[in-house]
Each structure stands twice: as structure tokens, then as C-alpha cells.
A = this chain, B = another copy of it.
Amino acid sequence: MAGPRGEYRKSAARRAQILDAAVEVFARTGYTGSSVSEIARVVGVSQTAVLHHFEGGKTALLMAVLEQRDALAVGALADHHGRAFIAELVEISRRQAAQRGVVQLYHVLSTEATAPDHPAHEYFRTRIGRILEGTTQAFAEARDAGDLKPGVDPHHAALSTLAMVEGLEMLWLNGLDVDMAEDIRHHIDQFLAAPL
């Protein structure tokens, strides 16, 4: 017998299903080319059911997808500092290789969102700025702990590492034979006093 708590669980499960479908559809056709009706079709519910969970429609779905995914990555990094934070970047890359759809989603959406009138334009600008800030801080902590080679600039090392992560993901998505985690580890090692 489904009491109020059973109803709540069913509703939360349906919301999660809709988010999974949105990830799939956005990754396949981009935000611009996607529709709420296509997402509803993938779940097997009506458009009205989707709009019941996401009143703001397609834009609300986009922001929910991004926030859910980023919460996972922020969680993985929050407890790490200095060299451990830098090492975690390699582990995140290793996990990405098993989640092609998610990597594709981020690249499709973040390139689309470089257009100033895209609903996620500010979101991605702010996001990459924060990631650069956090990574720069981790390299600065590593420097202060004596974990960097002499003369390495934390800001440059962070920018270069993020560019390498983005670029390797792109080459991997485009079908090149790339071991992302291994290549990022190799790239980072040039900055470290002792290799990862």
C-alpha cells in the first residue's frame, strides 16, 4: 500500500528518470536541438508529467542536469588539497572514460553555451572560472608544501592542466585512441617534484 512516503519515493524516482533521459537527449542533439516532448518520449510519460517535475521546462531541465553532475565532481574534490587535489583530477578523468554520454553532454552544452544568449552561458563561464580558481589554489598549496618543481607558476600549471583535460576529452570524443587519465598524469608530472 503506497502511503504518502511511498508516493514521495515514486515521485523522486520519476524525477530521476526524467533527468537521466534529459542527459541522454541533450548529449545526442544538444540543448538547442532537444525538446521536452522528446525527453518525455524517452521516459514514456506525457509532456505534462515532465512539466509537473520541471515547471521551467527545457531550461529548468538543463540547469538541473548541470547542477546534479557538478555536485558529484565538487564532492569528489572538496576534501582534497594540494597534491591530493591534483591527483584527484587524474582519478576524475579515469572515471570519465566510463561515462562517454556525460562527457559528450558537457562538451556539447559548454560549446553551445559560448553563445552569449544561451541560457547556460553565465553558468559555464562561472563554472570554468571557479574550477580554474580551485585548481590554481591546489597548485599553490602544492608549491607551499614543496611538491612543485622550482619556478612552476601555480596559475599557469592550473590553466595548462585544465586545457589538457578539455582537449584530451575532445580528441577522445572524436575517436582518437587516447588514454585520458594516463596522458593527464603525464602532463601534470612535468610540474611536480615527484611524479604522481
Contact = CB atoms under 8 A, between A and B. Distances in A.
A171 B176 contact: no
Contact of A171 (B104, B159, B174): B159
A173 to B, nearest CB: 4
Nearest to A100: B114
A115 B108 CA distance: 10
Chain A interface size, as a band, is 35 or more
Classify the interface of chain A: helix, strand, loop or mixed. Answer: helix
A110 interface: yes
Given A111-B108, A183-B160, A125 B170 contact: no
Contacts of A163: 163-164, 167-168, 170-171, 178, 183
Contacts of A128: 171, 174-176
Given A160-B187, A163-B183, A170-B166, A111 B115 contact: no
Contacts of A110: 170, 174
B129 A170 contact: no
Number of copies of this protein chain within its complex = 2
A18 B142 CA distance: 53
Contact of A167 (B125, B168, B176, B190): B168
A40 interface: no
11 contacts: A28-B115, A108-B111, A111-B170, A113-B174, A128-B175, A159-B176, A160-B164, A163-B164, A166-B170, A167-B168, A167-B170
Closest 4 CB pairs of A and B: A32-B33, A167-B167, A163-B167, A166-B167
Interface of A: 27-30, 32-33, 104, 107-108, 110-115, 124-125, 128-129, 132, 156, 159-160, 162-168, 170-171, 173-176, 178, 183, 186-187, 190
